């Protein structure tokens, strides 16, 4: 019984852990993505580039 | 020979030159060749002195980048005491609004290069219809070091130091007397007077003389159309180090003698075709390559990839092969003559009693258009030749964010021309309507091109020397 309880607790813990980690990673990903997009925002760009059509 | 006040008074000089900078000394050297005696009056001492320098203070309105009192030097040899020594001739097309052609000062190029100790080589080569690579020379000459002892021993060149040329007296259309402030106030007579006091002082003195002499016409645009050569980092980029070097060095290896900026610098200028087609001003762009340690390098890559994601693979490939380098575009270029840019007299006076300088200065949209067009042209050349990508700094987008980093080349104010309404001196540098007053220096340039002015100043000075020799024969 004791063992069963421990196993149950572990299973519960694992579930919570997996949920947590998924949540953590997804938010982090979104945050990173957000961060990446804003990493070099337009308003601080110092240069107006001369580019060819193929560069875009 | 160096003269004291009493010795000045004992002699009569047919030609008096005011100012011992490159302009004044070059005229005196030309006269000396023909054994003609002259007197140079120099407000400064043999070396720098706070007192002489204090006469160079002034008020500045607009976006002129520097304090007037630290730019020029009032001492023997003038501003050549701290100039950069970069030299190049003006272009043929810079003379479009001059009353003379380039061919009229070309004969004085060889002697001018001898004075400045530089090779007579100012090569150029078109890289396409719109752009050319140009060659500069570097002079190490300080006029004090090269000419002080020479003048001290000269039988024909007399020099008065610490002697301020203060005013003139006129009779009809002739200057008859010069007033000098030295250890005491003295006055002397001469047949010909030359003002060679520098690109700001020539206007200031002439304005002051006009306040005291009605004979100098109120219509002469003295002080007007004052110009400078703006200098700024105008663009940046990244490129293929090897390809760029190969592209330029194969043709221009011997042009490389310009400046020791970065690893490699090449100077690019617009052709006459581009200037007339796009209606821009003349310009020199210095393209410099940097290694990866340069601050701009990483930011430039980030900036470029944000707007041109398709270039990522190519850039990464160059980066991995260690071929990617940073590029800086700096430029020194022409400013168009504008009536509002002018020197007038301040209500404060220097210790000798001459009103200080008041300078109104504003850069025009056309100047910025020129800088942007040059980045555009060079950027497209880089695309054509697959050398890299360049862009213009946003600081040159509009005038409100633009401040030049120079302020060194003082052009206009007593400009040369045919009309007495729109110019101050004629093609021989003689003041319109006044028989014996000449002006020499960059203040007579009607337009400034992009070339550093001193070589052209020396050429004009030697030409003026020759003209004065001819005039002396007629009296
Ligand atoms: C920082 C700096 C860097 C520069 N670099 C370059 C460069 O790389 N290449 C280039 O071509 N040019 C350069 N220039 C410009 C160059 O120095 C000038 O073009 C040149 O010195 C002008 O010569 P000038 O004889 O006309 O005048 P100045 O050299 O200014 O000499 C004028 C002389 O007149 C004297 N004077 C003035 N008023 C009176 C008076 N009332 N009575 C008696 N004497 C008077 C002054 O004391 C002075 O000695 C530079 C200038 C600066 C400030």
Residues B189, B202: Cα–Cα separation, whole Å? 20
Question: B199 with B278, same domain?
Answer: no
CA dihedral B70→B74→B76→B82, nearest 10 degrees, is 10
B377 in contact with A, Cβ within 8 Å: no
Pick the range with the lowest mean pLDDT from A32-36, B331-335, B375-379.
A32-36
DSSP B101: -
Which amino acid residue places its CA nearest to atom 14 of ligand 1? B83
Residues B424, B434: Cα–Cα separation, whole Å? 10
Question: B353 with B215, same domain?
Answer: yes
B380 in contact with A, Cβ within 8 Å: yes
Bridge partners (DSSP) listed for residue B438: B194, B430
* Per-residue pLDDT tens over the stretch B55-105: 999 999 998 888 899 999 999 999 999 999 999 999 999 999 999 999 999
Residues B96, B100: Cα–Cα separation, whole Å? 9
CA distance B159 to chain A (A): 53
Rg (CA), chain A: 23
Task: Please tell me which residue, B435 or A26, carries the higher pLDDT value.
Answer: B435
CB-based burial label for B62 (10 Å; 0-12, 13-18, 19+): exposed
The pair phi, psi for residue B102, each rounded to 5°, is -60, -35
Which residue among B386, B401, B416 closes a domain?
Answer: B401
Question: B378 with B236, same domain?
Answer: yes
pLDDT on residue B475 = 80
| pTM greater than 0.80 (yes/no) | yes
Residues with CB under 6 A from ligand 1: B 18-24, 41-44, 71-72, 74-75, 78-80, 82-87, 164-165, 196-198, 201, 205, 408-409, 441-442, 452-454, 457
Question: B246 with B221, same domain?
Answer: no
pLDDT on residue A28 = 55
Sheet holding B283-290, edge to edge: A47-49, B388-393, B231-240, B324-333, B283-290, B264-270, B131-134, B124-126
Task: Please tell me which residue, B278 or A32, carries the higher pLDDT value.
Answer: B278
pLDDT on residue A38 = 45
- Residue B59's contacts (CB-CB under 8 Å, 6 or more residues apart) are B346, B348, B356, B357, B358, B359
ipTM, two decimals: 0.86
Residues B377, B238: Cα–Cα separation, whole Å? 16
CA distance A31 to chain B (A): 19
pLDDT on residue B101 = 98
DSSP B185: E
Rg (CA), chain B: 24
Q: How many helices (H) and strands (E) does chain A have?
A: 1, 1
Question: B163 with B144, same domain?
Answer: yes
Whether B462 shows a pLDDT value over 80: the answer reads yes
Confidence of residue B260 (pLDDT cuts 50, 70, 90): low
Whether B452 shows a pLDDT value over 50: the answer reads yes
C-beta separation of B370 from B334 below 8 A: yes
Question: B353 with B466, same domain?
Answer: yes
Question: B67 with B213, same domain?
Answer: yes
CATH code (residue B97): 3.50.50.60
Compute the count of residue pairs across chains A and B with CB atoms less than 8 Å apart. Answer: 62
Count of the separate structural domains present in chain A: 1
Query: Which member of B303, B379, B383 has the closest CB to residue A46?
Result: B303
Residues B376, B405: Cα–Cα separation, whole Å? 21
H helices present in B167-221, as ranges: 201-212
* Per-residue pLDDT tens over the stretch A7-34: 656 666 666 667 666 666 665 555 554 4
The H-or-E segment that residue B165 falls in is strand B164-171
The H-or-E segment that residue B328 falls in is strand B324-333
The gap from C-alpha B226 to its chain's centroid, in whole angstroms, comes to 12
Structure tokens at B276: 């007339």
Atom of ligand 1 at shortest range from CA of B165:
42
Residues B152, B149: Cα–Cα separation, whole Å? 5
Question: B171 with B288, same domain?
Answer: no
Whether B444 shows a pLDDT value over 50: the answer reads yes
pLDDT on residue B290 = 81
Which residue among B378, B401, B424 closes a domain?
Answer: B401
Interface contact flag, A47 B308, Cβ < 8 Å? no
Whether B132 shows a pLDDT value over 90: the answer reads yes
Question: B69 with B155, same domain?
Answer: yes
pLDDT on residue A37 = 46
Interface contact flag, B392 A45, Cβ < 8 Å? no
Range of the domain at B375: 230-333+364-401
Share of chain B above pLDDT 70, in %: 96
Confidence of residue A36 (pLDDT cuts 50, 70, 90): very low
Residues B378, B133: Cα–Cα separation, whole Å? 11
* Per-residue pLDDT tens over the stretch B105-127: 999 999 999 999 999 989 999 99
Residues B173, A49: Cα–Cα separation, whole Å? 59
Confidence of residue B383 (pLDDT cuts 50, 70, 90): very high
Confidence of residue B408 (pLDDT cuts 50, 70, 90): very high
Share of chain B above pLDDT 90, in %: 82
- Give the E-state strand segments of B113-208 in sequence order: 124-126, 131-134, 137-138, 157-160, 164-171, 174-181, 185-188, 190-195
Which amino acid residue places its CA nearest to atom 13 of ligand 1? B83
Question: B431 with B309, same domain?
Answer: no
Query: B80 CA distance to ligand 1 centroid (A)?
Result: 6
Chain B partners within 8 Å of A43 (Cβ): none
Query: B399 CA distance to ligand 1 centroid (A)?
Result: 28
DSSP B89: P
Question: B111 with B188, same domain?
Answer: yes
Chain A partners within 8 Å of B298 (Cβ): none
Residues B206, B157: Cα–Cα separation, whole Å? 24
* Per-residue pLDDT tens over the stretch B12-54: 999 999 999 999 999 999 999 999 999 999 999 999 999 999 9
B389 in contact with A, Cβ within 8 Å: yes
pLDDT on residue B306 = 87
Mean pLDDT across A29-47: 56
Interface contact flag, A55 B389, Cβ < 8 Å? yes
Count of the separate structural domains present in chain B: 2
Query: B409 CA distance to ligand 1 centroid (A)?
Result: 9
- Angle among Cα B442, B433, B444 to the nearest 5 degrees reads 5
pLDDT on residue B227 = 97
Hey, is B21 helix, strand or coil? coil
Mean pLDDT across B150-154: 97
| Residues in chain B, overall count | 475
Chain B partners within 8 Å of A46 (Cβ): 236, 299, 303, 393-395
Residues B283, B271: Cα–Cα separation, whole Å? 10
Query: Which member of A39, A49, A56 has the closest CB to residue B310?
Result: A56
Question: B237 with B375, same domain?
Answer: yes
Range of the domain at A36: 2-55
Task: Report the candidate in B52, B105, B63 with the shortest Cα–Cα distance to residue B232.
Answer: B63
Bridge partners (DSSP) listed for residue B331: B232, B285
Residue of chain B whose alpha carbon sits nearest to that of A49: B391
Residues B31, B37: Cα–Cα separation, whole Å? 7
Query: Which member of A45, A48, A54 has the closest CB to residue B306?
Result: A45
């Amino acid at each position: 019984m004791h063992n069963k309880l421990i196993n149950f607790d572990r299973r519960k813990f694992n579930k919570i852990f997996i949920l947590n980690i998924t949540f953590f990673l997804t938010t982090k990903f979104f945050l990173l993505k957000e961060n990446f997009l804003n990493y070099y925002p337009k308003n601080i760009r110092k240069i107006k580039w001369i580019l060819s059509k193929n560069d875009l | 020979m160096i003269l004291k006040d009493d010795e000045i008074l004992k002699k009569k000089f047919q030609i008096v030159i005011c100012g011992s900078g490159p302009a004044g000394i070059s005229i005196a050297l030309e006269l000396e060749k023909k054994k003609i005696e002259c007197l140079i009056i120099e407000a400064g001492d043999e070396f720098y002195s706070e007192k002489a320098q204090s006469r160079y203070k002034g008020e500045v309105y607009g976006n002129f980048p520097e304090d007037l009192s630290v730019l020029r030097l009032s001492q023997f040899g003038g501003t050549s005491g701290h100039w950069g020594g970069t030299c190049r001739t003006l272009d043929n097309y810079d003379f479009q609004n001059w009353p003379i052609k380039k061919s009229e000062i070309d004969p004085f190029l060889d002697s001018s290069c001898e004075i400045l100790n530089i090779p007579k080589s100012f090569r150029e080569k078109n890289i396409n219809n719109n752009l050319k690579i140009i060659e500069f020379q570097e002079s190490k000459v300080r006029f004090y070091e090269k000419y002080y002892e020479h003048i001290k021993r000269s039988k024909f060149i007399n020099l008065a130091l610490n002697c301020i040329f203060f005013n003139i007296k006129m009779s009809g259309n002739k200057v008859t007397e010069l007033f000098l402030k030295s250890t005491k106030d003295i006055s002397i007579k001469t047949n010909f007077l030359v003002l060679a006091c520098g690109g700001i002082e020539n206007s200031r003195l002439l304005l002051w003389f006009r306040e005291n002499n009605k004979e100098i016409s109120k219509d002469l645009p003295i002080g007007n159309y004052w110009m400078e050569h703006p200098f700024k980092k105008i663009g940046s980029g990244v490129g293929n180090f090897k390809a760029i070097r190969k592209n330029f060095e194969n043709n221009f290896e011997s042009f490389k003698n310009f400046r020791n900026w970065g690893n490699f610098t090449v100077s690019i200028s617009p052709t006459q075709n581009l200037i007339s087609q796009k209606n821009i001003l003349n310009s020199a762009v210095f393209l410099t390559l940097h290694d990866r340690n340069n601050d701009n390098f990483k930011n430039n890559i980030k900036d470029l990839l944000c707007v041109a994601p398709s270039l990522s693979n190519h850039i990464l490939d160059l980066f991995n092969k260690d071929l990617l380098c940073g590029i800086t575009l700096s430029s020194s270029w022409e400013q168009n003559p504008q009536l509002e840019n002018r020197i007038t007299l301040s209500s404060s006076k220097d210790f000798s009693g001459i009103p200080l300088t008041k300078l109104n200065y504003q850069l025009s949209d056309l100047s910025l258009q020129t800088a942007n067009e040059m980045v555009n042209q060079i950027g497209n050349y880089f695309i054509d030749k697959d050398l890299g990508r360049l862009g213009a700094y946003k600081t040159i987008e509009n005038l409100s964010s633009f401040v030049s980093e120079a302020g060194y080349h003082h052009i206009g104010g007593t400009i040369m021309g045919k009309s007495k309404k729109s110019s101050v001196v004629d093609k021989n540098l003689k003041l319109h309507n006044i028989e014996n007053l000449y002006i020499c220096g960059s203040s007579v340039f009607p337009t400034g091109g992009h070339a550093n002015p001193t070589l052209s100043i020396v050429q004009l000075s030697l030409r003026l020397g020759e003209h004065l020799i001819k005039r002396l024969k007629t009296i």
